[in-house]
């Protein structure tokens, strides 16, 4: 799989899935169809999902695209959420300051995610957003696998998560790294 993501988020999700060739994803804040896409490489190998962005920018992909504010899901997005399986391979939430709101609007009461990557932009927003996102996901039973991931040219901007029931402890432990640089974590 050739990663199209900024820091290896797609590779992280693929590794946690056991490298399956057909999984499901939701990519909130998907932005461009391929540039720094956290899901395009997964889609290329056979995964299908839902693409969400507040701007009408993600075109040319196989998965359905919903243009709306994920903190206040439209009827179209709620319909896509209702069709999700009870266990989803990957949830990417990359919404700058709105990441926590998008997480709070996601149907975690019906769907558990094998892996999640969440943007918190600690390098520019400080600890507040990151800590609130962490509190929210810890309370849902998620395990923080890679904290304060760094992408080239940025400071600490993301956390990478797993739901213990749906991923191997050995794989999670292998992904924990002394490095915070995303592409080094998943190589």
pLDDT above 90: residue 88? yes
- The neighbouring-strand residues paired with 91 are 26, 116
Sign of CA dihedral 34, 81, 91, 69: positive
Domain boundaries of the chain, sorted by first residue: 9-185
pLDDT above 80: residue 133? yes
Distances 141 to 26, 81, 119, 125, 150 between C-alpha atoms, Å: 19, 20, 19, 25, 24
pLDDT above 80: residue 8? yes
Distance, CA of 41 to CA of 79 (rounded, Å) = 25
pLDDT digits (tens, 9 = 90+) for 16-74: 999 988 899 999 999 887 888 999 999 999 999 999 999 988 778 999 999 999 999 99
pLDDT digits (tens, 9 = 90+) for 144-181: 999 999 988 889 999 999 999 999 898 999 898 778 88
pLDDT above 90: residue 1? no
Distance, CA of 115 to CA of 120 (rounded, Å) = 16
* H or E stretch at 137: helix 127-139
pLDDT above 80: residue 14? yes
Which residue did the predictor score with more confidence, 187 or 126?
126
Q: Which CATH fold would you assign to the domain 9-185?
A: Rossmann fold (3.40.50)
| The 112-119 sheet, strands edge to edge | 65-67, 48-53, 24-28, 87-93, 112-119, 156-162, 143-150
Q: What is the mean pLDDT of residues 101-126?
A: 96
Report pTM.
0.95
pLDDT for the residue 179: 80
Q: What is the mean pLDDT of residues 100-122?
A: 97
Distance, CA of 30 to CA of 61 (rounded, Å) = 11
């Amino acid at each position: 799989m050739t990663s199209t993501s900024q820091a290896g988020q797609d590779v992280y999700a693929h590794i946690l899935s056991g490298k399956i060739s057909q999984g499901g994803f939701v990519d909130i804040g998907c932005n461009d169809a391929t540039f720094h896409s956290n899901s395009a490489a997964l889609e290329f190998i056979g995964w299908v999902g839902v693409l969400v962005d507040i701007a009408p920018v993600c075109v040319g992909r196989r998965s359905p695209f919903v243009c709306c504010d994920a903190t206040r899901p439209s009827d179209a997005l709620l319909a896509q959420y209702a069709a999700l399986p009870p266990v989803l391979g990957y949830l990417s939430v990359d919404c700058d300051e709105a990441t926590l709101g998008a997480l709070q609007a996601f149907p975690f009461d019906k769907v558990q995610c094998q892996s999640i990557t969440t943007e918190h932009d600690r390098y520019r927003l400080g600890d507040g957003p990151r800590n609130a996102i962490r509190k929210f996901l810890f309370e849902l039973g998620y395990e923080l696998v890679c904290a304060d991931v760094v992408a080239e040219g940025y400071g600490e901007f993301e956390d990478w998560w797993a739901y213990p029931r749906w991923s191997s402890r050995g794989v999670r432990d292998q992904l924990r790294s002394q490095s915070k640089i995303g592409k080094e974590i998943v190589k």
